[in-house]
Structures are given as C-alpha cells and as structure tokens.
Amino acid sequence: MTAQPQSTPAPPPSGTTSGTAPGSVSVAAPRPVRAAAPAALALGDDALVLAQRLGEWAGNAPVLEEDVALTNIALDLLGQARTLLSLVGDEDELAFGREEHEFRNVQLVERPNGDFAETIARQLFFSVHQELLFTALAAGDSALAPLAAKAVKEVAYHRDHAERWTLRLGDGTEESHRRMQDAVDGLWRYTGELFEPLDGLDVDLAGLRAPWLERVTAVLGRATLEVPQGADRTPWAAGAGRQGVHTEAFGRMLAEMQHLHRAHPGASW
C-alpha cells in the first residue's frame, strides 16, 4: 500500500484527469486518509453539489436576510467540500474533471431548488443527517474526525435555520403550509439513500436512520406537517447517487458548473 503514489484517488474516477495538477504537492498521504477516501469523496460531493444549488439562490431570496443566510450556508458547505475533496486528490480536478457517473453525492442534494419550501425541506433533511453523521465522526479517530469536529458547528446552524423555516412555513399561512407539505412529500423518496453504507466511513449510517427519523418527525410535527407515509428511497436505482446514478437535472447542473474550467484545459485561475 505505501508504495502506491498519492495522486491515485481511491475510488476510481476513470475520467479524472491523470497526473498531478500544477502547484499541488505530491506527498504520501497517511494511511487513514486513503482508507477514508471513498467516504471523503462521497461526503465531499454531497457538500459541493448542495453548495452549487444554494449558490443559485444568491440575489433571488425572499428577503435580504435569506440572501445572506443561504449564501452563508453554501459557503460553509463549499468549505467542507474543499477539505474533503483535498483529502482525495486535487479539489479542482475532482470538481471540474469528473462526469456525472463519477460523482458520488446522494440524489437529494442535486434536486433543483424549486420554491423556497423545497429548498428548506432539502436542507432540513440533509442538515439533520449531516449533524448526526459529523457528531459521530468527530467522536471517532478516522482521518475525517478533524473535519467533522469543525463542520458540526456549521451544520448545527444550518439545521437550526432549516428547522425554523420549516416551522414558519408549515405553521404560517394556508399557502405556505401546502407548499411545505408538498416539498416534504416530494423529497421524501430521496432521504433513504442517506443511510446507505459508505466505504471508508467508521460510522454505521444505517444506525443513524432512527435518530434522523425521530428528529425530523419532531420538527414536522411542531410545524403541523405530516410525515410522509411513502417509501423513503427510490425503488428503481439501487444505491443511486452513491454509485454514480443521478437524476436528469444533475447533468445540466454539472455542465454549467464545469464549462469554463473545461474550456481552458491546463489553465490556472
């Protein structure tokens, strides 16, 4: 193992540009990082893709305070993505050089922003999950523990923000209640994937399902919303996002994100 060069990312992104990016230093990574690399890639992709979605809100939010808040959350997630992807390889090669099927994010985070309720429902589901996961990771001694310890503070803020808006929208007006319930129902089938096992992660993701459901149920209840009764994952794609199977909207999102970088191969920015 130790003889293997560092620049080989652990999961195989076959389309990833080979070689080391200009400026990146080739240092032998400690073993724990390599072991955790598949998980770092998946969690980094989650954060990157959601940051990209939230970045679309800049200048479009319902109130200025939300322009600040949503961009702030996006920025936190982008910071997490950069740290996680850098554990695996060159952050820009990974972000801009891979194709859809090489991304390991859950489908939940790639769902389009929709209206404000859809954005909030997505954020609630994801943030509660992230908070549980990072709390558990921070308590362990894997290579991801330091990242998790820092990020858990940010994620608690994201969760709190999503929770408060879930309450305001769910228990606000008739229209906001309807929209919030629709958003929760529509995204529900993307939540089961959050608990699929992830290589290289020393946290039992399946074990987070019960506390996640308990927390989400509590928030939805206080918001006078129903917990959806349908399946919490899509039956038609085993593993889905974690195995590189994505939704239609994702390809377009990546095309936008990557086009400039790809138009200037080898350029530095």
In the complex, which residues of this chain contact other proteins (CB under 8 A)?
Answer: 48, 52, 55-56, 58-68, 71-72, 74-75, 78-79, 81-82, 85, 91-92, 95-96, 115-116, 167-169, 171-173, 175-176, 179, 256-257, 259-261, 264, 266-269
Least gap, CB of 186 to other proteins (angstroms)? 17
Residue with Cβ nearer other proteins (229 or 268): 268
What span, in angstroms and rounded, lies between the C-alpha atoms of 269 and 254?
19
Least gap, CB of 154 to other proteins (angstroms)? 14
What span, in angstroms and rounded, lies between the C-alpha atoms of 185 and 167?
16
Cβ 131 vs Cβ 156: under 8 Å: yes
Residue 20 has phi, psi (to 5 degrees) of: -100, 140
Least gap, CB of 203 to other proteins (angstroms)? 25
For Cα atoms 166, 170, 173, give the angle at the middle one, nearest 5 degrees: 130
Cβ 84 vs Cβ 43: under 8 Å: yes
Taken in order 236, 239, 241, 243, the sign of the CA dihedral is: negative
Least gap, CB of 185 to other proteins (angstroms)? 18
Dihedral, CA of residue 72, residue 132, residue 159 and residue 80, to nearest 10: 10
Residue with Cβ nearer other proteins (82 or 215): 82
Give the CA distances from residue 241 to residues 152, 188, 190, in Å, rounded to whole numbers and listed in that order: 23, 15, 10
Residue with Cβ nearer other proteins (169 or 208): 169
Residue with Cβ nearer other proteins (169 or 201): 169
Residue with Cβ nearer other proteins (120 or 203): 120
Least gap, CB of 158 to other proteins (angstroms)? 15
